[in-house]
Amino acid sequence: MTRGGAISVRGATKVYDPDGARVIALDHCSMEIGAGEFCVVVGPSGCGKTTLLNAIAGFHELTAGEIHLNGQLLSSPSQPATPGSDRVVVFQNGALFPWMTIAENVAFGPMAQNKLEPKQAKEAALETLETMGLSLIANDYPGRISSGTRRRAEIARAMACHPQVLLLDEPFRALDALTKTVSHQFLMEVYDRERPTIFFITHDLDEAIFLASRVFVMTTRPATVKKILEVPLPRPRDFRLLASPDCQRLRAECQAAVRAEALKAFSVGERER
Ligand SMILES: Nc1ncnc2c1ncn2[C@@H]1O[C@H](COP(=O)(O)OP(=O)(O)OP(=O)(O)O)[C@@H](O)[C@H]1O
Ligand SMILES: [Mg+2]
Protein backbone atom coordinates (compact mmCIF):
# COMPACT_ATOMS: atom_id res chain seq x y z
CA MET A 1 0.00 0.00 0.00
CA THR A 2 1.35 3.47 -0.82
CA ARG A 3 0.56 6.75 0.85
CA GLY A 4 0.68 8.92 -2.28
CA GLY A 5 3.80 10.75 -3.33
CA ALA A 6 3.57 10.78 -7.16
CA ILE A 7 5.92 13.47 -8.46
CA SER A 8 5.63 15.06 -11.87
CA VAL A 9 8.44 17.36 -12.98
CA ARG A 10 7.39 19.31 -16.06
CA GLY A 11 9.88 21.40 -17.99
CA ALA A 12 11.72 22.38 -14.81
CA THR A 13 14.30 25.10 -15.45
CA LYS A 14 16.56 26.68 -12.87
CA VAL A 15 18.95 29.54 -13.56
CA TYR A 16 21.21 30.72 -10.76
CA ASP A 17 22.29 34.27 -11.18
CA PRO A 18 24.91 35.02 -8.57
CA ASP A 19 26.33 38.47 -9.25
CA GLY A 20 25.00 38.36 -12.79
CA ALA A 21 26.97 35.21 -13.74
CA ARG A 22 24.19 33.05 -15.11
CA VAL A 23 24.42 29.33 -14.32
CA ILE A 24 21.73 27.22 -15.98
CA ALA A 25 21.45 24.17 -13.73
CA LEU A 26 18.21 22.65 -15.09
CA ASP A 27 16.85 23.14 -18.56
CA HIS A 28 13.34 21.89 -19.35
CA CYS A 29 13.85 18.81 -17.23
CA SER A 30 10.86 16.48 -17.06
CA MET A 31 10.30 13.25 -15.18
CA GLU A 32 7.37 11.23 -13.86
CA ILE A 33 7.87 9.35 -10.61
CA GLY A 34 5.11 7.03 -9.45
CA ALA A 35 3.77 6.97 -5.88
CA GLY A 36 5.90 4.58 -3.86
CA GLU A 37 8.57 4.28 -6.54
CA PHE A 38 12.26 3.98 -5.63
CA CYS A 39 13.86 6.36 -8.09
CA VAL A 40 17.64 6.84 -8.23
CA VAL A 41 19.24 9.79 -10.01
CA VAL A 42 22.81 9.61 -11.35
CA GLY A 43 24.76 12.02 -13.52
CA PRO A 44 28.04 13.91 -13.83
CA SER A 45 29.25 16.06 -10.98
CA GLY A 46 27.71 19.53 -11.09
CA CYS A 47 25.01 18.59 -13.61
CA GLY A 48 22.07 19.76 -11.48
CA LYS A 49 20.92 16.76 -9.42
CA THR A 50 20.89 18.55 -6.06
CA THR A 51 19.23 21.55 -7.70
CA LEU A 52 16.34 19.31 -8.75
CA LEU A 53 16.11 17.71 -5.29
CA ASN A 54 16.07 21.14 -3.65
CA ALA A 55 13.28 22.27 -5.96
CA ILE A 56 11.18 19.22 -5.03
CA ALA A 57 11.97 19.75 -1.33
CA GLY A 58 10.83 23.37 -1.62
CA PHE A 59 14.19 24.89 -0.74
CA HIS A 60 14.25 27.13 -3.79
CA GLU A 61 11.99 28.24 -6.61
CA LEU A 62 12.08 27.27 -10.28
CA THR A 63 12.89 29.79 -13.00
CA ALA A 64 10.39 28.06 -15.32
CA GLY A 65 8.33 24.89 -15.38
CA GLU A 66 6.29 23.14 -12.72
CA ILE A 67 6.49 20.36 -10.18
CA HIS A 68 3.33 18.53 -9.14
CA LEU A 69 2.78 16.25 -6.15
CA ASN A 70 -0.16 13.85 -6.39
CA GLY A 71 -1.50 15.91 -9.27
CA GLN A 72 -1.47 19.16 -7.28
CA LEU A 73 0.83 22.02 -8.21
CA LEU A 74 3.75 22.03 -5.78
CA SER A 75 6.08 24.52 -7.38
CA SER A 76 6.16 27.01 -10.23
CA PRO A 77 7.87 30.39 -10.63
CA SER A 78 4.72 32.14 -9.44
CA GLN A 79 4.02 29.65 -6.66
CA PRO A 80 7.31 28.44 -5.13
CA ALA A 81 7.06 25.29 -3.04
CA THR A 82 7.64 25.48 0.66
CA PRO A 83 9.14 22.61 2.65
CA GLY A 84 6.49 20.35 4.14
CA SER A 85 6.15 17.21 6.25
CA ASP A 86 5.05 15.32 3.12
CA ARG A 87 8.67 15.60 1.79
CA VAL A 88 11.65 14.98 4.03
CA VAL A 89 15.32 15.32 3.05
CA VAL A 90 18.27 13.24 4.27
CA PHE A 91 21.35 15.36 3.62
CA GLN A 92 24.79 14.37 2.32
CA ASN A 93 26.62 15.53 5.44
CA GLY A 94 24.15 14.53 8.09
CA ALA A 95 22.07 16.83 10.20
CA LEU A 96 21.49 15.27 13.62
CA PHE A 97 21.62 17.78 16.46
CA PRO A 98 24.72 16.80 18.49
CA TRP A 99 23.26 18.08 21.76
CA MET A 100 20.16 15.86 21.55
CA THR A 101 19.95 12.10 22.09
CA ILE A 102 18.95 9.96 19.10
CA ALA A 103 15.41 9.63 20.52
CA GLU A 104 15.18 13.43 20.94
CA ASN A 105 16.49 13.90 17.39
CA VAL A 106 13.93 11.47 16.01
CA ALA A 107 11.17 13.16 18.04
CA PHE A 108 12.13 16.55 16.63
CA GLY A 109 10.47 16.02 13.21
CA PRO A 110 7.09 14.90 14.56
CA MET A 111 7.14 17.89 16.93
CA ALA A 112 8.27 20.51 14.42
CA GLN A 113 6.46 19.22 11.33
CA ASN A 114 3.55 17.10 12.53
CA LYS A 115 2.94 19.38 15.55
CA LEU A 116 2.87 16.52 18.07
CA GLU A 117 3.20 17.31 21.79
CA PRO A 118 6.68 16.43 23.19
CA LYS A 119 5.38 13.36 25.05
CA GLN A 120 3.57 11.96 22.00
CA ALA A 121 6.54 12.78 19.79
CA LYS A 122 8.91 10.92 22.12
CA GLU A 123 6.60 7.90 22.07
CA ALA A 124 6.42 8.03 18.28
CA ALA A 125 10.23 8.31 18.13
CA LEU A 126 10.75 5.30 20.37
CA GLU A 127 8.27 3.31 18.29
CA THR A 128 10.08 4.27 15.07
CA LEU A 129 13.45 3.34 16.56
CA GLU A 130 12.10 0.00 17.72
CA THR A 131 10.59 -0.81 14.32
CA MET A 132 13.92 -0.01 12.74
CA GLY A 133 15.96 -2.07 15.19
CA LEU A 134 17.62 1.02 16.72
CA SER A 135 16.19 0.94 20.25
CA LEU A 136 19.60 0.34 21.78
CA ILE A 137 20.89 3.74 20.67
CA ALA A 138 17.80 5.74 21.71
CA ASN A 139 19.61 7.42 24.61
CA ASP A 140 22.99 7.87 22.91
CA TYR A 141 24.26 11.17 21.56
CA PRO A 142 25.19 11.32 17.84
CA GLY A 143 28.86 11.86 18.62
CA ARG A 144 29.04 8.57 20.46
CA ILE A 145 27.81 6.25 17.71
CA SER A 146 29.46 5.11 14.46
CA SER A 147 28.94 7.01 11.22
CA GLY A 148 26.95 4.13 9.71
CA THR A 149 24.59 4.00 12.70
CA ARG A 150 24.24 7.79 12.55
CA ARG A 151 23.10 7.53 8.94
CA ARG A 152 20.50 4.96 9.93
CA ALA A 153 19.34 7.21 12.76
CA GLU A 154 18.94 10.03 10.26
CA ILE A 155 16.76 7.87 8.06
CA ALA A 156 14.74 6.92 11.15
CA ARG A 157 14.37 10.62 11.95
CA ALA A 158 13.14 11.33 8.43
CA MET A 159 10.69 8.45 8.49
CA ALA A 160 9.30 9.41 11.92
CA CYS A 161 7.27 12.09 10.10
CA HIS A 162 5.83 9.40 7.79
CA PRO A 163 6.56 11.49 4.69
CA GLN A 164 5.08 10.67 1.31
CA VAL A 165 8.44 11.45 -0.29
CA LEU A 166 11.92 10.75 1.05
CA LEU A 167 14.65 12.78 -0.69
CA LEU A 168 18.22 11.55 -0.18
CA ASP A 169 21.30 13.35 -1.54
CA GLU A 170 24.27 10.93 -1.61
CA PRO A 171 23.44 9.78 1.93
CA PHE A 172 25.99 6.96 2.09
CA ARG A 173 28.80 8.66 0.21
CA ALA A 174 31.26 8.83 3.10
CA LEU A 175 30.71 5.28 4.35
CA ASP A 176 33.13 2.38 3.85
CA ALA A 177 31.99 -0.44 1.55
CA LEU A 178 30.82 -2.82 4.27
CA THR A 179 28.89 -0.18 6.21
CA LYS A 180 27.33 0.90 2.92
CA THR A 181 26.03 -2.62 2.32
CA VAL A 182 24.42 -2.68 5.77
CA SER A 183 22.94 0.78 5.17
CA HIS A 184 21.48 -0.35 1.84
CA GLN A 185 19.81 -3.28 3.53
CA PHE A 186 18.43 -0.94 6.19
CA LEU A 187 17.00 1.50 3.64
CA MET A 188 15.51 -1.33 1.58
CA GLU A 189 13.75 -2.69 4.67
CA VAL A 190 12.37 0.77 5.45
CA TYR A 191 11.21 1.04 1.84
CA ASP A 192 9.66 -2.44 1.74
CA ARG A 193 7.81 -1.75 4.98
CA GLU A 194 6.52 1.78 4.31
CA ARG A 195 6.77 2.34 0.54
CA PRO A 196 7.45 6.08 0.51
CA THR A 197 8.39 7.54 -2.85
CA ILE A 198 12.18 7.72 -2.80
CA PHE A 199 14.29 10.21 -4.78
CA PHE A 200 17.88 9.11 -4.17
CA ILE A 201 20.95 10.79 -5.68
CA THR A 202 24.23 8.91 -5.98
CA HIS A 203 27.47 8.58 -7.94
CA ASP A 204 27.78 4.89 -7.00
CA LEU A 205 26.32 2.87 -9.86
CA ASP A 206 26.21 -0.44 -7.94
CA GLU A 207 24.22 1.36 -5.28
CA ALA A 208 21.94 2.81 -7.96
CA ILE A 209 21.16 -0.54 -9.58
CA PHE A 210 20.82 -2.39 -6.28
CA LEU A 211 18.31 0.07 -4.79
CA ALA A 212 16.31 1.46 -7.70
CA SER A 213 13.08 0.57 -9.40
CA ARG A 214 14.26 2.96 -12.10
CA VAL A 215 17.52 4.83 -12.58
CA PHE A 216 17.37 8.29 -14.17
CA VAL A 217 20.64 9.16 -15.89
CA MET A 218 20.99 12.94 -16.22
CA THR A 219 22.82 14.82 -18.94
CA THR A 220 25.72 17.10 -18.19
CA ARG A 221 24.67 20.60 -17.04
CA PRO A 222 22.08 21.87 -17.65
CA ALA A 223 20.46 18.66 -16.50
CA THR A 224 17.71 16.90 -18.38
CA VAL A 225 16.94 13.19 -18.38
CA LYS A 226 19.25 11.37 -20.79
CA LYS A 227 18.12 7.82 -20.18
CA ILE A 228 15.81 5.84 -17.91
CA LEU A 229 16.85 2.33 -16.90
CA GLU A 230 14.21 -0.04 -15.56
CA VAL A 231 15.53 -2.32 -12.83
CA PRO A 232 13.05 -5.19 -12.77
CA LEU A 233 14.77 -7.14 -9.98
CA PRO A 234 12.44 -8.71 -7.40
CA ARG A 235 12.21 -7.35 -3.84
CA PRO A 236 13.29 -7.94 -1.15
CA ARG A 237 16.76 -7.80 -2.70
CA ASP A 238 19.93 -9.42 -1.47
CA PHE A 239 23.32 -7.78 -2.09
CA ARG A 240 24.53 -10.97 -3.82
CA LEU A 241 22.18 -9.99 -6.66
CA LEU A 242 24.82 -7.47 -7.73
CA ALA A 243 26.96 -10.29 -9.11
CA SER A 244 24.14 -11.57 -11.36
CA PRO A 245 24.39 -11.16 -15.14
CA ASP A 246 21.22 -8.99 -15.16
CA CYS A 247 22.75 -6.53 -12.68
CA GLN A 248 26.07 -6.50 -14.47
CA ARG A 249 24.37 -5.73 -17.78
CA LEU A 250 22.32 -2.90 -16.26
CA ARG A 251 25.39 -1.51 -14.54
CA ALA A 252 27.37 -1.50 -17.78
CA GLU A 253 24.50 0.27 -19.57
CA CYS A 254 24.28 2.85 -16.80
CA GLN A 255 28.02 3.39 -16.73
CA ALA A 256 28.18 3.93 -20.48
CA ALA A 257 25.46 6.58 -20.29
CA VAL A 258 26.98 8.43 -17.31
CA ARG A 259 30.47 8.24 -18.74
CA ALA A 260 29.37 9.73 -22.06
CA GLU A 261 27.90 12.71 -20.18
CA ALA A 262 30.85 13.02 -17.80
CA LEU A 263 33.21 13.17 -20.78
CA LYS A 264 31.13 15.98 -22.30
CA ALA A 265 31.32 17.88 -19.02
CA PHE A 266 35.05 17.22 -18.81
CA SER A 267 35.64 18.51 -22.30
CA VAL A 268 34.01 21.80 -21.44
CA GLY A 269 36.15 22.16 -18.36
CA GLU A 270 33.96 20.73 -15.65
CA ARG A 271 35.60 18.46 -13.12
CA GLU A 272 34.82 14.75 -13.55
CA ARG A 273 34.50 12.64 -10.39
N1 LIG B 1 23.24 28.53 -4.97
C2 LIG B 1 23.89 28.48 -6.12
N3 LIG B 1 24.30 29.61 -6.75
C4 LIG B 1 24.94 29.55 -7.92
N5 LIG B 1 25.22 28.40 -8.58
C6 LIG B 1 24.85 27.26 -8.01
C7 LIG B 1 24.17 27.23 -6.75
N8 LIG B 1 23.92 25.93 -6.43
C9 LIG B 1 24.43 25.19 -7.44
N10 LIG B 1 24.99 25.97 -8.38
C11 LIG B 1 25.60 25.54 -9.64
O12 LIG B 1 24.61 24.82 -10.35
C13 LIG B 1 25.18 23.69 -11.00
C14 LIG B 1 24.47 22.44 -10.54
O15 LIG B 1 24.76 22.23 -9.16
P16 LIG B 1 24.19 21.00 -8.34
O17 LIG B 1 24.71 21.14 -6.96
O18 LIG B 1 22.73 20.93 -8.53
O19 LIG B 1 24.89 19.77 -9.09
P20 LIG B 1 24.99 18.26 -8.67
O21 LIG B 1 24.61 17.45 -9.88
O22 LIG B 1 24.24 18.00 -7.43
O23 LIG B 1 26.56 18.08 -8.40
P24 LIG B 1 27.35 17.05 -7.47
O25 LIG B 1 27.26 15.72 -8.15
O26 LIG B 1 28.74 17.58 -7.46
O27 LIG B 1 26.71 17.07 -6.13
C28 LIG B 1 26.66 23.71 -10.66
O29 LIG B 1 27.34 24.36 -11.71
C30 LIG B 1 26.74 24.55 -9.40
O31 LIG B 1 27.98 25.21 -9.28
MG1 LIG C 1 24.81 17.36 -5.54
- 13, 30 Cβ separation under 8 angstroms: no
Distance from Cα 174 to the centre of ligand 1, integer Å: 19
Dihedrals φ, ψ of 197, to 5°? -75, 130
Does residue 20 sit in helix, strand or coil? helix
Residue-wise pLDDT for 84-95, tens only, equals 889 999 987 778
Q: Across 36-50, 115-129, 257-271, which has the greatest mean pLDDT? A: 36-50
pLDDT of residue 269: 63
Residue ranges, comma separated, of all CATH 3.40.50.300 domains in the chain are 1-86+165-273
pLDDT score recorded for residue 2: 57
Ligand number nearest CA of 12 is 1
Q: Which residues contact 116 (CB under 8 A, 6 or more apart)?
A: 110, 124
CB 265 less than 6 A from any atom of ligand 1: no
User: Rounded to the nearest whole angstrom, what is the distance from the C-alpha of residue 47 to the centroid of ligand 1?
Assistant: 7
Could you say which ligand is closest to the alpha carbon of residue 273?
A: 1
Q: How far apart are CA 162 and CA 153, in angstroms?
A: 15
- pLDDT for the residue numbered 93: 76
Distance 238 CA to ligand 1 centre (A): 34
13 alpha carbon, distance to own chain's centre: 20
CA distance readout (Å), 100 to 95, 106, 124, 134, 241: 12, 9, 16, 16, 38
Within 10 angstroms of residue 19's Cβ, the number of other Cβ atoms is 4
- Ligand 1: atom nearest CA of 14 is 12
Confidence of residue 273 (pLDDT cuts 50, 70, 90): very low
Nearest CA to ligand 1 atom 8: 51
- Confirm or reject: Cβ of 221 under 6 Å from ligand 1: yes
Q: Is the pLDDT of residue 272 over 50?
A: no
Query: For residue 85, what pLDDT is reported?
Result: 83
Top CATH class of 1-86+165-273 equals: alpha beta
Q: Say yes or no: CB of residue 46 within 6 Å of ligand 1.
A: yes
Ligand nearest to C-alpha 43: 1
Residue 114 pLDDT exceeds 60: yes
User: What is the pTM (predicted TM-score) of this model?
Assistant: 0.94
State the Cα–Cα distance between residues 3 and 219, nearest whole angstrom: 31
Give residue-wise pLDDT tens across range 9-63. 999 999 998 788 899 999 999 999 999 999 999 999 999 999 999 999 999 999 9
Q: Is 102 helix (H, G, I), strand (E, B) or coil?
A: helix
18 lines ligand 1 (CB under 6 A): yes
Measure 24 CA to ligand 2 centroid, in angstroms: 15
- Determine the average pLDDT of the residues in 120-145: 93
Does residue 170 have a pLDDT over 70? Answer: yes
